[in-house]
């Protein structure tokens, strides 16, 4: 998309403008695309202001103002004359973002821009980048291996596997209705409860669960832990509790079924050894055809 590689096939288009395709190739500097690299990639011999101004025409009368506006947008007003060697990791990445923003691109490309930062700073910059992109009204392609980051930043998320997009849509769609079991496992915590699908209902060890478009017969129903409610009963046993502060997860061993994870908000009210029943709550979910049992091997 940035023009750093010549694609073997396909087409890259921004609105009605073809950037790459059969017989067409627009050079990177003419694409009007901003790029933020994983490691900031600042020029060490240039000041912060000169780094930000790098992509602006030298004779642009508004050059200094646009640099100041970009630095203000990333929260670094007053850093113009600083050397890049004096910046923290978070500040350096903010300068890299300002450099990409200064030419006012129509598209921003961000290649895992926070992967080298610690967790608290990454969480802070996610929100900042979301605010910045909203402020400049530009399309952004944000690459990350962190699904939480993708959900926080993106209006639309595409999951790729082996070079192919396997599902694309709003974050809620990918989380609630993953197209495959692999996507369900990748995006958040998930239970896979065995059952038998009969139309729009799957019959499982925790009771009937409404499903969408499930194959008939043996299935594995995808149920997020927050959709499983543990109530006093006698069909399962709490075998463990994971406490995270803001929520907790019960590990529940069903008498005639698998171990299921049930998430509750706040402090846990149940403990190991407590007898419970499990109930499904929420909207219809998805189910996948159960894996076939291996054929018996002759002695």
Query: Mean per-residue pLDDT for 230-253?
Result: 96
- Per-residue pLDDT, 285: 96
CA dist 195 → 207, 215, 285 (Å): 9, 11, 13
pLDDT digits (tens, 9 = 90+) for 63-102: 999 999 899 988 899 999 999 999 988 899 889 989 998 8
Q: What is the pLDDT of residue 169?
A: 96
More confident residue, 31 or 124: 31
Domains, in order of start, for the chain: 32-155 (3.40.50.300), 194-289 (2.40.50.140)
CA distance 204 to 282: 16
* Average pLDDT estimate for 214-241: 95
How many CB atoms within 10 Å of residue 232?
Answer: 9
Phi, psi of 207 (to 5 degrees): 105, 180
| 3-state secondary structure at position 264 | strand
The token duo for 38 is 């994983």
Percent of the chain with pLDDT over 90: 63
Q: What is the pLDDT of residue 207?
A: 94
Cα–Cα nearest to 57, from 110, 107, 104 = 104
Burial string for 40-56 (b: 16+ CB within 10 Å, else e) reads bebeeeebbbebbbebb
Under a CB-based contact definition with an 8 Å cutoff, are residues 225 and 249 in contact? yes
For residues 170 and 156, the answer to whether their CB atoms sit within 8 Å is yes
Q: pTM to 2 decimals?
A: 0.81
**In angstroms, how far is CA 169 from the centroid of its own chain?**
11
The mean pLDDT of the chain is 90
Kindly indicate the confidence band of residue 292, based on its pLDDT and cuts at 50, 70 and 90: low
Distance CA 172, CA 191 (A): 17
Of 24-38, 106-120, 150-164, 202-216, least confident by mean pLDDT is 106-120
- Cite the DSSP H helix spans in the chain: 48-52, 63-73, 89-101, 119-136, 147-153, 171-176, 181-186
* Average pLDDT of the residues in 192-208: 95
Task: Find the mean pLDDT for residues 240-265.
Answer: 95
- Name the band, by pLDDT with cuts 50, 70 and 90, for residue 114: confident
Q: Assign 295 a pLDDT band (cuts: 50, 70, 90).
A: very low
Q: Is the pLDDT of residue 105 over 70?
A: yes
- Average pLDDT of the residues in 114-127: 79
Q: What is the per-residue pLDDT across 12-71, written as a single tens digit (0 to 9) for each?
A: 999 889 999 998 999 998 998 999 988 888 999 999 999 999 988 888 888 999 999 899
Start-to-end Cα distance in the chain: 57
The C-alpha angle 85, 89, 93, rounded to 5 degrees, equals 95
What distance lies between CA 45 and its chain's CA centroid? 35
Gyration radius (Cα) of the chain, Å:
25
At 214 the three-state DSSP class reads coil
Render pLDDT for 143-189 as a digit per residue (tens, 0 to 9): 998 888 899 888 999 999 888 999 999 999 999 999 999 999 999 89
Residue 277's closest CA among 228, 238, 225, 232? 232
């Amino acid at each position: 998309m940035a023009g750093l590689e010549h694609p073997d096939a396909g087409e890259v288009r921004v609105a009605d403008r073809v950037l790459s395709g059969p017989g067409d190739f627009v050079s990177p500097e003419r694409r009007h695309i901003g790029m933020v690299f994983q490691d900031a990639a600042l020029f060490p011999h240039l000041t912060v202001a000169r780094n930000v101004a790098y992509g602006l025409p030298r004779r642009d009368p508004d050059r200094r103002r646009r640099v100041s506006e970009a630095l203000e947008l990333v929260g670094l007003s007053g850093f113009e004359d600083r050397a890049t060697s004096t910046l923290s990791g978070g500040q350096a990445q903010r300068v890299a973002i300002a450099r990409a923003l200064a030419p006012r691109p129509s598209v921003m490309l961000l290649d895992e821009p926070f992967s080298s930062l610690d967790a608290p700073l990454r969480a802070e910059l996610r929100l900042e980048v979301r605010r910045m992109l909203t402020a400049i009204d530009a399309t952004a392609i944000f690459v990350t291996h962190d699904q939480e980051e993708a959900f926080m930043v993106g209006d639309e998320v595409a999951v790729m596997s082996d070079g192919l997009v396997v599902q694309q849509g709003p974050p809620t769609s990918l989380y609630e209705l993953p197209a495959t079991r692999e996507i369900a496992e990748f995006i958040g915590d998930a239970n896979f409860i065995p059952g038998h699908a009969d139309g729009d209902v799957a019959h499982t060890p925790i009771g009937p669960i409404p499903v969408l478009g499930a194959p008939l017969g043996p299935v594995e129903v995808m149920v997020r832990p927050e959709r499983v409610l543990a109530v006093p009963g006698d069909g399962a046993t709490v075998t463990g509790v994971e406490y995270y502060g803001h929520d907790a997860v019960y590990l529940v061993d069903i008498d005639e079924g698998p171990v299921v994870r049930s998430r509750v908000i706040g402090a846990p009210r149940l403990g190991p050894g407590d007898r419970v029943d499990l109930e499904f709550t929420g909207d219809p979910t998805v189910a996948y055809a159960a894996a076939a049992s291996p054929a018996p091997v002759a002695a």
